[in-house]
């Protein structure tokens, strides 16, 4: 038996659910499948352990796009709270406020190291690397070699499990665009003299790495995506859990997709669709396509960094005030510590809190294959070693493994993705890639949603009005013309393709 739909969506993360939500405004003929048997939201889900809630990483709700912010509030109108951002860096046995406090950094580093950092920065600006290719090159140009060694090298290599010389400069340019030492020092001086910025609004000109407030659903980001899935079902579409894609075959004659899906009990379900929207990892998707694409070897070469969270439940009202702390110290394996009680008071019972220790790894390596008990004990030892809690405070623990959390920007990924894109667009015109893993593009949640919103518009219009590959980190969004459909979504790089053609 085969079920027919106009649009078949693979993955119920932020991108997949946003696409389905926007599509079901116009049609109910939408089916969404999700591999996880319990949670929607992908890496933005919220996990429940007893009376505790925690994220898979922390997910700030901040966007320069008014339309993305409006969509958040449309889906979840009454459940956002405004949260102050407070984060620090732990390095060399000392804590540094992030964004930096000028006098604290000077005190912690010492006057000679601080002076060496400034001189190193001056040298880098005077003699920049002309065409920075690696993360190391890019950071050296923006901050100087000395600060690269102190604040960037150890943490970045923890995150990616590879040398900073192997990581593409694209990742740095995308993640911390607009920030260099001069901007950081100006901001640090404002902090040191108590000049606080007003809360950043959508559309304001602010470096994302330095924002001081953000919105957050009171019971975590999963609250948003559970509400979105419920609305999609209310409109007559389907969100099917515990389903894994087995086969994705394109019939060029009928221009129809024939889709095979495995169910939780091991059976097979069959579907047909006119359009397929995929937020699944590109490497996995391409291997399931039929006929086999010529870019198969390029897809197999794509790499991913995996991630696990060890949540420690604490019999303590407040461990520390920060939302999260970056751990740059190489003596421990943990890369970042989340304090979910500071994200929202409703994430833990009264008088208790939950810390999330984040470990970056590769699926199958030593960390990934440790037992839950071993990981909880490791996290307990390391949280004590860093000085964030006492061992006696920890009363329970929980481990969540997240495969393919981060697409790797190595020195070859751009060439591989260029070939895959050309191949898929020519061979499978009704296959639409969206989101972080769907596009192998390290987007934040709001940009992943934007790729989905524009894809939904392309499908409903019956033509490719928008090039979603132009949506990238910290693009400058502004209103373009009177059309409310384009307001806040259209930038100079995101105007409809027809408009570009007319202008040319």
Give, as one character, the DSSP assignment of residue 292. P
456, 408 Cβ separation under 8 angstroms: no
202, 65 Cβ separation under 8 angstroms: yes
Q: Which pTM value belongs to this model?
A: 0.86
The whole-number mean pLDDT for each consecutive block of 10 residues of the chain, a chain of 504 residues, reads: 95 98 98 97 96 92 88 96 90 80 73 89 92 91 87 88 91 63 58 48 44 87 97 98 97 95 95 98 97 96 96 90 91 95 94 96 95 98 94 96 94 94 96 97 91 96 91 43 36 46 43
Beta strand 213-217 pairing with 80-84? antiparallel
Cis peptide before 141 (omega within 30 of 0): no
Supply the pLDDT for residue 187. Answer: 61
**Residues in Cβ contact with 223 at an 8 Å cutoff, skipping those fewer than 6 apart:** 46, 76, 79, 217
Three-state SS sequence of 132-156? CCEHHHHHHHHHCHHHHHHHHHHHH
Residue 122: how many CB atoms within 10 A of its CB?
Answer: 12
In sequence order, what DSSP letters do the residues of 32-59 get, joined into one string?
EEESSSS--SGGG-EEEETTEEEESS--
Give, as one character, the DSSP assignment of residue 352. -
In sequence order, what DSSP letters do the residues of 152-172 get, joined into one string?
IHHHHHHHHSS-TTTBBHHHH
Supply the pLDDT for residue 411. Answer: 87
Q: How far is CA 280 from the centre of its chain?
A: 14
Give the tokens for residue 221.
């980001």
Q: List, for residues 29-71, the tens digit of each pLDDT value.
A: 999 999 999 999 999 999 999 999 999 988 888 888 889 999 9
Q: How far apart are alpha carbons 438 and 286 in whole angstroms?
A: 11
Supply the pLDDT for residue 188. Answer: 56
In sequence order, what DSSP letters do the residues of 188-245 get, joined into one string?
HHHHHTT-PPPPPPTT----GGG--EEEEETT-THHHHHHHHHHHHHTT-EEEES-EE
Q: List, for residues 214-238, the tens digit of each pLDDT value.
A: 899 999 999 999 999 999 999 999 9
Supply the pLDDT for residue 394. Answer: 96
| Dihedral over alpha carbons 270, 276, 278, 282 (to 10 degrees) | 90
Q: How far apart are alpha carbons 362 and 496 in whole angstroms?
A: 39
């Amino acid at each position: 038996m085969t079920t027919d739909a106009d649009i078949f969506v693979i993955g119920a993360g932020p991108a997949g659910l946003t696409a389905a939500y926007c599509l079901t405004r116009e049609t109910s003929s939408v089916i969404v499948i999700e591999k996880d048997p319990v949670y929607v939201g992908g890496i933005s889900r919220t996990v429940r352990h007893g009376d505790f809630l925690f994220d898979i990483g922390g997910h700030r709700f901040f966007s320069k796009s008014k339309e993305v912010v409006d969509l958040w509030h449309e889906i979840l109108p009454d459940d956002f709270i405004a949260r102050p951002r407070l984060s620090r860096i732990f390095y060399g046995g000392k804590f540094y406020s992030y964004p930096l406090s000028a006098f604290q950094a000077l005190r912690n580093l010492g006057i000679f190291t601080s002076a060496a950092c400034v001189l190193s920065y001056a040298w880098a600006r005077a003699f920049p690397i002309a065409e920075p290719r690696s993360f190391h090159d890019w950071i050296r140009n923006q901050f100087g070699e000395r600060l690269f060694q102190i604040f960037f090298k150890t943490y970045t290599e923890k995150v990616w499990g590879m040398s900073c010389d192997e990581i593409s400069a694209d990742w740095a340019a995308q993640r911390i665009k607009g920030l260099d030492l001069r901007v950081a020092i100006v901001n640090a001086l404002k902090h040191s003299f108590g000049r606080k910025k007003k809360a950043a609004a959508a559309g304001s000109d602010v470096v994302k790495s330095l924002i001081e407030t953000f919105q957050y659903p009171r019971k975590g980001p999963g609250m948003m995506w559970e509400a979105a899935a419920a609305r999609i079902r209310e409109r007559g579409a389907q969100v099917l859990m515990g389903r894994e894609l087995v086969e994705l075959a394109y019939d060029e004659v009928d221009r129809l997709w024939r889709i095979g899906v495995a169910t939780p009990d091991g059976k097979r379900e069959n579907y047909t669709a006119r359009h397929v929207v995929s937020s699944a990892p590109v490497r996995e998707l391409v291997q399931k396509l039929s006929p086999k694409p010529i870019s198969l070897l390029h897809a197999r070469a794509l790499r991913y960094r995996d991630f696990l969270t060890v949540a420690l439940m604490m019999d303590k009202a407040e461990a520390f005030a920060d939302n999260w702390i970056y751990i740059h110290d190489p003596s421990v394996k943990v890369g970042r510590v989340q304090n979910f009680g500071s994200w929202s008071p409703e994430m833990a019972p009264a008088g208790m809190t939950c810390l999330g220790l984040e470990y970056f790894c590769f699926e199958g390596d030593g960390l990934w294959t440790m037992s839950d008990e071993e990981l909880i004990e490791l996290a307990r030892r390391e949280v004590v070693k860093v000085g964030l809690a006492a061992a006696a405070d920890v009363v329970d623990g929980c481990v969540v493994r997240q495969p393919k959390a981060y697409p790797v920007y190595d020195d070859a990924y751009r060439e591989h993705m260029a070939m895959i894109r050309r191949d898929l667009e020519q061979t499978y015109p009704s296959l639409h890639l969206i989101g972080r893993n769907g596009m192998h593009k390290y987007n934040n949640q709001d940009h992943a949603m934007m790729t989905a919103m524009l894809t939904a518009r392309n499908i409903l219009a019956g033509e490719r009005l928008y090039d979603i590959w132009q949506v990238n980190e910290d693009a400058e969004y502004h209103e373009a013309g009177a059309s409310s459909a384009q307001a806040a979504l259209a930038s100079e790089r995101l105007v409809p393709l027809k408009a570009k053609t007319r202008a040319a």
